[in-house]
Amino acid sequence: MLAEMPGVVVLGELRHMWERGIGNDELCACSTPFSECPFWRSVGDRAFGGWDRLDVERVLWLKDTVDRKRRLTRTTRRRTPPDLRDDLLAYTGHYRRIYEAAAEVAGASVVVDSSKVVPLPMALSHDPAIDLRIAHIVRDPRGVAYSWQKSVARPEKEGESMPRIGLVDSTQNWVVHNMSMTGLRYRGVPVHRLRYEDLVRDPGPVVRDLWRGLRLPGSAELPLSDRHTITLNGTHSVAGNPMRFRTGETTVRPDTEWVGRMNARDRRAVTALSLPLLKRYGYPARVREVPA
């Protein structure tokens, strides 16, 4: 949806580009392989003089060194030792060049990287040349756990499916991920929190609040044709949920399948494992109170 706003370019989950785009030449959201996509070619040329000039092994080594959950104890600090700082800036420099090149190629002033996990923005927060702002989207952890159990095909590769995660792991990830967001605030990064359920129920005002909350430039208006309908013109999202391939007139609506389909024992387990964060985000402990 954000890609439809003037002055915005979305890149998808850029953190996966090293392996999936450059490494495996998987499909861009424009349905061409990464190496053939004109957008990503231009970005690679501007950023590095071509993707083949880039030392991907080195980037992956740096990723392992500064961009993993287990590294957060070091990267969340306000002061970092010089050796760590060198690795952080070497790593984030790659992202900065890509963001700058993408903004130039698309003529955009806002670049959206939906990499999702906290270790990447924590690393990026050390680079003073990156004007980082975070949209923190939370979803009811019971809906998250239900969705992670579904089998979803990967359009990028025939016969492959999205990974599936069990209830306990999904809920642990949810708690750790959302708690880690506090670390970004601690490091002085502007964070605006919104709920998935509110966003899909009424996208216009929620995006307006997000835009103003993060003081982003340009119009704060989603080009909706009515309250729930938007025409998606396609993006060059490099990796992410299979819905990145969707184009055309699209109705935005909440995915509430779990409310009726998730069994009570599973629901109770996720509720117990996610309290009190669940309540802090305004989700009811008793699921039947969730409006369908």
Shortest CB 26 distance to Zn ion, Å: 11
Shortest CB 248 distance to Zn ion, Å: 17
Based on CB atoms, which residue is closest to Zn ion, 37 or 120? 37
Near Zn ion by CB under 5 A: residue from 2, 30, 252, 290: 30
Binding part of the chain for Zn ion, among 93-101, 144-152, 154-162, 235-243 by CB under 5 A, reads 235-243
Binding part of the chain for Zn ion, among 29-37, 73-81, 166-174, 217-225 by CB under 5 A, reads 29-37
- State which of positions 113-172 bind Zn ion (CB under 5 A): none
The CA–CA distances, whole Å, from 170 to 16, 67, 102, 144, 164 equal 20, 20, 33, 7, 9
How many residues bind Zn ion, per CB under 5 A?
Answer: 5
Binding part of the chain for Zn ion, among 30-38, 100-108, 211-219, 273-281 by CB under 5 A, reads 30-38
Based on CB atoms, which residue is closest to Zn ion, 39 or 258? 39
Q: Extract long-range pairs of 143-152: CB within 8 Å, 24+ residues apart.
A: 143/196, 143/255, 143/256, 143/258, 143/259, 144/170, 144/171, 144/174, 145/170, 145/171, 145/174, 145/258, 145/262, 145/266, 145/270, 146/257, 146/258, 146/261, 146/262, 146/266, 147/255, 147/258, 152/242
Based on CB atoms, which residue is closest to Zn ion, 229 or 233? 233
Shortest CB 237 distance to Zn ion, Å: 8
Based on CB atoms, which residue is closest to Zn ion, 63 or 236? 236
Based on CB atoms, which residue is closest to Zn ion, 205 or 234? 234
The Cα–Cα gap between 42 and 40 comes to 5
Near Zn ion by CB under 5 A: residue from 28, 101, 199, 210: 28
- CA count, 13 A, side-chain hemisphere, 148: 20
158: helix, coil or strand? coil
Q: Exposed, middle or buried: residue 232 (CB in 10 Å: 0-12, 13-18, 19+)?
A: middle
Residues lying near Zn ion in the complex (CB under 5 A) are found at: 28, 30, 37, 39, 236
